[in-house]
Structure 1
């Protein structure tokens, strides 16, 4: 569970970083004394950088999700195996108890048969 929180925190941090960068660059462009051509060039460069960062974030996010899916699959498999083992153990215990009960029942039948045959 802690791994899930850490993964979510990392993703949230990365998204906040990208969002902060976008907002900061937008404010800087609006207040910078540049010509229209320079501003358009800056916007183009910034758009390219932002696209690259977004692709990196998406790659990181997909890697994190893939890792989480793998871990969940492993845990589910472990739990399934554990459940099978527990069910097998419970079955064996139940069969053993039934066998012991049958043995005791046979002993009691024998005792009763001896008691009634003496009379």
Structure 2
């Protein structure tokens, strides 16, 4: 849920940045020394460019979000694989240790038997 809030904040920040640029450019055009018709055409042209830029920004943010989501999913899958491999390795090590203990117990029994024969 926190990820969704961060995504929304990122998108809102990008949109506020674009909106601020539009407002600033609009104010600059209104105070420029040129005719009203030319200023209106410039404002319309700039608004179209700003809209395309905003659409591109939203698309970039969405692509980034999707890529990040894919990366997080891949890391989760890898972590699960590593955990399973670790479990398998631990089970194998446990079996080897039990076998070694069993063999050393047999060796100890043999040595005890030899010692018993010598002592008597």
Q: Same fold (TM over 0.5)?
A: yes
- Paired residues, number: 85
Q: Which of the numbers 100, 103, 109 marks the counterpart of 2:106?
A: 103
Superposed, 1:1-119 pairs within 5 Å as 35-117=38-120
Structure 2's unaligned 5+ residue stretches are 1-24, 26-36
Residue 45 of structure 1, CA deviation: 0.9
The alignment's TM-score, normalised by the length of structure 2, stands at: 0.67
- Deviation of 1:51 after TM superposition, in Å, equals 1.0
1:56-93 CA deviation, whole Å, 9 max, x = no partner? Answer: 11111111000000111111111111111111111111
RMSD of Structure 2 on Structure 1 (CA): 1.6
Larger RCO (CA within 8 A; separation ≥ 6): 1
Aligned mates of 1:64, 1:46 — CA distance in 2: 27
